Amino acid sequence: MTDVKDWNKAGGEKTEAMLLTPDRERGIAVYEVCSACHLLEGWGLKDGTFPQLAGQHRNVLIKQLTDIRAKNRDNPTMYPFALDEQILAVAGYHEGEIKPAQLVADVTTYISKLPMNPDNGKGIWAEGTPEFEQGKKLYADNCTQCHGDNGEGSNEKFYPRIQGQHYAYMLRQFEWIRDGKRRNANPDMVKQIKGFSDMDMKMVINYVSRQKVPAKDLAPSTDYQNPDYD
């Protein structure tokens, strides 16, 4: 099993970005690079190829982006788009004119405020089925302490919001964390889920995928288009 890196050590670009005042217009400009995969709305894809980013906690987004930039999280598809020259260029800056950490602060704040997809990708077992109920129990016994009763997560503690996330994406990440393939995973989670079978994993992620997102955080319909890119 791959060693899990220090999960959340303070300092570096992550802490720097957290302390900077974000600029919305720069965030819009930088996010255009991200939208090639995550879509202009930040909704990703139901097939799990790309996660929904819209509505995710700002600190979680900062940590994951800075981990990818520092190569502490393996993401070869995203890494080229997260390099300094890419995010500087799209924001209209040259090296030395602005700190990349500022652009990280700008884009993550922008993403965190995007309305979420009202129809995220879900697992196959509906509420009331034995598999749904077992997933609910597994979640209550193993996940609520960090991710909250309804998958709301915590910005302060860097726990991702998983309500509204696509089933297929969560399933892949859960498997990688369980099997030690995601190097920046929380070591407490690695220990907590190491005994999960593949079926356990599918049932608990199915349950999470069906947790309701508060209406105030959702786009009005699946036809919604991000007005910042008209």
* 1 has binding-site annotation: no
For range 83-105, the mean pLDDT: 95
Number of domain units in the chain: 2
Using the 3D structure, point to which of 117, 152, 179 is the last residue of a domain.
117
Co-location of 63 and 100 in the same domain = yes
- Direct distance between the N- and C-terminal alpha carbons of the chain, in angstroms, rounded to an integer: 47
Residues 80 and 150 in one domain: no
78 is in an annotated binding site: yes
Is this model's pTM higher than 0.85 or not? yes
SS (H, E, C) the chain: CCCCCCCCCCCHHHHHHHHCCCCHHHHHHHHHHHHHHHCCCCCCCCCCCCCCCCCCCHHHHHHHHHHHHCCCCCCCCCHHHHCHHHHHHHCCCCCCCCCHHHHHHHHHHHHHCCCECCCCCCCCCCCCCHHHHHHHHHHHHHCHHHHCCCCCCECCCCECCCCCCCHHHHHHHHHHHHCCCCCCCCHHHHHHHCCCCHHHHHHHHHHHHCCCCCHHHECCCCCCCCHHHC
Residue at 34 is within a domain: yes
Assigned domain for 3 exists: no
Residue 225 domain flag: no
State whether 76 and 149 are in the same domain.
no
Please indicate, yes or no, whether residues 36 and 66 belong to a single structural domain of this protein.
Answer: yes
At CA 140, angle to CA 136 and CA 142, rounded to 5? Answer: 115
Average pLDDT of the segment spanning 123-127: 98
Range of the domain at 139: 130-217
Residue 7 forms part of a structural domain? no
Q: Is 18 annotated as a binding residue?
A: no
Taking only the tens place, the pLDDT of each residue in 8-45 is 999 999 999 999 999 999 999 999 999 999 999 999 99
The answer to whether the annotation marks 38 as part of a ligand binding site is yes
95 falls in which pLDDT band (50, 70, 90)? very high
Band (2; pLDDT cuts 50, 70, 90): very low
Q: Per the annotation, does 143 bind a ligand?
A: yes
Q: 111 and 24 in one domain?
A: yes
The CATH number assigned to the domain holding 73 equals 1.10.760.10
The whole-angstrom separation of Cα 2 and Cα 65 is 21
pLDDT of residue 110: 98
116 is in an annotated binding site: no
Distances in Å between the Cα of 217 and the Cα atoms of 15, 113, 159, 169, 209 are 26, 8, 18, 20, 16
Looking at the structure, do residues 106 and 163 belong to the same domain, yes or no? no
pLDDT at 5: 62
Among 69, 84, 117, the domain boundary falls at: 117
> Which residue type is seen at 92?
G
Output the pLDDT for position 6.
80
Whether the pLDDT of residue 3 is over 90: the answer is: no
The answer to whether position 122 is within a domain reads: no
Does one domain contain both 111 and 135?
no
pLDDT of residue 141: 98
- C-alpha 140/C-alpha 191 separation (Å) is 16
Q: Residue range 181-199: average pLDDT?
A: 96
Model confidence band, residue 1 (pLDDT cutoffs 50, 70, 90): very low
Pair (112, 17) in one structural domain:
yes
What are 218's strand-pairing partners?
116
Residues 163, 104: one domain? Answer: no
Partners of 107 in beta bridges: none
> Is residue 86 situated within a structural domain?
yes
Domain boundary among 78, 93, 117: 117
pLDDT digits (tens, 9 = 90+) for 132-170: 999 999 999 999 999 999 999 999 999 999 999 999 999
Per-residue pLDDT band at 4 (split at 50, 70, 90) = low
Tell whether residue 94 is among the known ligand binding residues: no
Instruction: Answer whether residue 173 is part of any domain.
Output: yes
77 shares a domain with 169 = no
Q: What is the pLDDT of residues 207-222, one digit of tens each?
A: 999 999 999 999 999 9
Round the average pLDDT of the chain to a whole number and report it: 96
26 and 113 inside one domain: yes
Q: Is residue 207 part of a domain?
A: yes
Taking Cα atoms as reference points, which of 175, 159, 164, 147 lies closest to residue 46? Answer: 164
Place of tokens 């193993």: 142
At position 86, the amino acid (one-letter code) is Q
Give percent of the chain with pLDDT exceeding 90.
96
